[in-house]
């Protein structure tokens, strides 16, 4: 695939085609490259600053209109999650921004293209670039295109760590995680559960709670952190043995 075709596919996924290609490229230049290279003079930090504000406004406006009965506190909680570093890194994964990031050698060798903070910052920079290139209407359309389903879920998107883990695993590996109960204790009226989440036979997270649902959500939260810390290449030896469908479902009514 040549460079033109590669960018063409990116525009299609993004839902917007740039007029100022230099502006788009700047959105992918990390400060570490500027510090190491004489060729790049501008990093994506200013675009990130701008994109952060555009993103915040768009999300706030969308939630205000989508949930007319929700109080301010609930709207603030939803917005806080939707613009969080963790969630924006997931959005960056959807657009495969990591493969376009331009980093200094040290940053790249340390796994920068998979780092949650860099992916989130790059997503904001791309939004800032769209805003400058096409205006607020185009930027809003891109944001709603990427985050729309999450925003419509409301508080469900904030709380469901299992769904976020499943989306991460399916997006990257076209495979699914597995959950298992490893411990149950306590009397019937005060049960406690310990749940593990596995991927490729490896335990990625363990969580406890007063219900199976609470414990599995806690385990998924730990596993999400492991994914971003270790990066994707660590799992390559396991890919041939991964289940392609049927996440193990726990009876979470207890």
Domains of the chain in sequence order:
3-154 (1.10.1520.10), 161-241 (3.30.160.20)
Write down the pLDDT at residue 102.
87
Residue 116 annotated to the active site: no
pLDDT above 70 as % of the chain = 83
DSSP at 252: T
Write down the pLDDT at residue 243.
46
Write down the pLDDT at residue 141.
97
Instruction: Tell me which of 52, 107, 161, 196 is the catalytic residue.
Output: 52
Residue 184 annotated to the active site: no
Burial class (CB in 10 A: 0-12, 13-18, 19+), 230: middle
CA quadruple 8, 12, 18, 22: dihedral positive or negative?
negative
Instruction: Tell me which of 124, 133, 161, 196 is the catalytic residue.
Output: 124
Residue 57: CA count within 13 A, CB half-sphere: 14
* Residue 190, helix vs strand vs coil: helix
* Residue 52, helix vs strand vs coil: helix
Q: Looking at the DSSP assignment, which residues form a beta bridge with residue 84? A: none
Write down the pLDDT at residue 214.
83
57 Cβ contact partners less than 8 Å away, ≥ 6 residues apart: none
Residue 97: CA count within 13 A, CB half-sphere: 32
Write down the pLDDT at residue 134.
97
Q: Bigger pLDDT: 67 or 109? A: 67
pTM (whole model) above 0.85: no
Residue 113: CA count within 13 A, CB half-sphere: 15
Residues 173-213 pLDDT 10s: 777 889 999 999 988 877 899 999 988 778 989 999 888 88
pLDDT at 253 over 50: no
Identify the helix (H) or strand (E) that includes residue 192.
strand 192-199
The overall average pLDDT reported for the chain is 84
Mean pLDDT comparison of 20-34, 118-132, 158-172, highest-scoring range: 118-132
pLDDT at 143 over 60: yes
Residues 84-112 pLDDT 10s: 998 999 899 899 998 899 888 877 777 77
pLDDT band at 1 (very low <50, low <70, confident <90, very high): very low
pLDDT above 90 as % of the chain = 43
pLDDT at 70 over 70: yes
Residues 226-251 pLDDT 10s: 877 766 555 555 545 544 444 445 55
Q: Looking at the DSSP assignment, which residues form a beta bridge with residue 196? A: 180, 206
């Amino acid at each position: 695939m040549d460079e033109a075709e590669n960018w063409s596919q990116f525009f299609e996924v993004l839902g917007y085609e740039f007029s100022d290609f230099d502006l788009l490229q700047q959105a992918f230049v990390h400060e570490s490259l500027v510090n190491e290279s004489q060729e790049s003079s501008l990093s994506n930090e200013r675009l990130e600053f701008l994109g952060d504000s555009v993103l915040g406004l768009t999300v706030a406006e969308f939630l205000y209109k989508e949930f007319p009965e929700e109080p301010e506190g609930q709207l603030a909680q939803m917005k806080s999650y939707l613009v969080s570093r963790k969630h924006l890194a997931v959005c960056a994964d959807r657009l495969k921004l990591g493969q376009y990031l331009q980093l200094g050698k040290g940053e790249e060798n340390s796994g920068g293209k998979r780092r949650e903070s860099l992916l989130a910052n790059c997503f904001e920079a791309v939004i800032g670039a769209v805003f400058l290139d096409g205006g607020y209407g185009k930027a809003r359309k891109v944001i709603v295109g990427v985050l729309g389903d999450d925003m419509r879920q409301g508080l469900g998107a904030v709380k469901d760590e299992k769904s976020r883990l499943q989306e991460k695993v399916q997006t990257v590996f076209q495979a699914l995680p597995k959950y298992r109960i490893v411990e149950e204790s306590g009397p019937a009226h005060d049960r406690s559960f310990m749940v593990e989440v596995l991927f490729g036979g490896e335990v990625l997270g363990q969580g406890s709670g007063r219900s199976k649902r609470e414990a599995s959500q806690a385990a998924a939260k730990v596993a999400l952190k492991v994914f971003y810390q270790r990066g994707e290449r660590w799992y390559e030896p396991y890919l041939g043995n991964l289940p392609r469908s049927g996440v193990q479902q726990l009876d979470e009514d207890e």
